[in-house]
Amino acid sequence: MLERDSTLDKYRILQPIAAGGMGVVYKAEHIHLRRLVAIKVLLPNYALDERTRARFAQEAYVQGQLSHPNIVEVTDFIHIGDVLAFVMRFVDGPSLEQVLQTESGPWPLDKVLQVLRPVVEGVAYAHARGVVHRDLKPANVLLDATIQASMLGTPRITDFGLAKVLATTGGVTRTGSMLGTVPYMAPEQFAGRSDIDARADVFALSMMFRRMLTGALPVDPNNMIAVTEVYTGRGPLSDPDDWGVELPHPLAQVLRRAASIDPSGRPTTAAAFLRAMEARTEETTDWQEWNQKTAAEAFRRGQVQAVNGRTEEAARWFATAVALAPEVEAYQVELGRVAPVVQAKEGQDQEANPPVRTEPDAGGKRVEMEPARIDRRETVSEFDRSAATVMGAIALCILLLPFIISISLFIAN
């Protein structure tokens, strides 16, 4: 254990905040910048094992390659003598597991989506980069109270200690090892299979939805007989229609598929899970209210991008908010503030082009739709209000809520 006020490289240790099987996480402060950080230190007895050191280094590397608002950022790696540690952004808030211990639920669907939709976005981002977490669970989702995206705070995924990089041919996991946490680990993980892919994370997400929506775990993790029956299909999981929760049919359908014992029955990645989850908007009838809520969400995401210095992405989100709700002056003001900055960037003449999304027409065919875009040569005073009105009318017909999906795809591009 590191002592309070001791130093590790350029960081001053403040206090231990968490302990796991192989390491301890400390709250610390950068000596010169006075910036709070979290430092995960590998326990000395594990630091002697080469395979464990390799897994620890892989965790730092994998998490360090992921830059997403809903994934805890790794900023530094320390190797001094026998001490191995990596430095992360400090998240000031509890884990989702801690919240569930005091507020077990059932939670309302809207509240569940406020927490888990950003988690799905972060997982989809990791999947797009060939990374499978393999230990998704409420304990590995921290709720950052410093940014109030919801009443609970911004969800941030952490602990990539069991993560797998799909592009690699080798690894540090032994074949036949059962890695993960019951009941969130997928059946193929429980069986010790080595061919684990993104569908294992999809299963874990379905279990998190199930727990929050029903207020209970699907199986007692301490009852290994019941656990084995569930994972072998002899004790089937309850169907979403039997949860006593009113779920939109598309969401119930994807939750049912995501919990399939056979991985071939699940969505292949979290992005597919997210798209299916967003199909719940098919049943939305108050389109004016839907437009207002969606515009507000686009505006919020634009603010986040602006704070992070991503002016072009911010402009796209603000333009979308204006198209959906041109009557809101705040959206126009923010668009007018960032548009000249985008215009001033030399050599960047390619228009922002968010990913194409589709909606069914009257004949059931998929028709390509594009969200609002901004011409960098325009200022808000030149923004075509008639075009905004047309875009608002088009948005009334959108059956999928694309904006949450788009954030991970924008970053991926």
The CA distance from 368 to 371, in Å, is 10
Q: How many CA atoms, within 13 angstroms, populate the side-chain half-sphere of residue 63?
A: 28
Angle made by CA atoms 243, 214, 407, in degrees to the nearest 5: 105
Strands (E), 231-365: 357-360
Catalytic: 242? no
Question: What is the DSSP annotation of 344-377?
Answer: H-TT--SPP-PPPEEEE-TTS-EEEE------TT
Ramachandran bin of 389, using left for φ above 0, alpha for ψ from -120 to 50, beta for the remaining angles: alpha
The CA distance from 359 to 334, in Å, is 29
The CA distance from 328 to 367, in Å, is 29
Please report which helix (H) or strand (E) contains residue 14, including its range.
strand 11-19
Residue recorded with tokens 């799909």: 166
Number of neighbouring beta carbons within 10 Å of residue 285:
6
Ramachandran bin of 391, using left for φ above 0, alpha for ψ from -120 to 50, beta for the remaining angles: alpha
Angle made by CA atoms 336, 320, 288, in degrees to the nearest 5: 120
Q: Which of 5, 49, 82, 135 is catalytic?
A: 135
Q: Are 411 and 310 in contact (CB under 8 A)?
A: no
Catalytic residues: 135
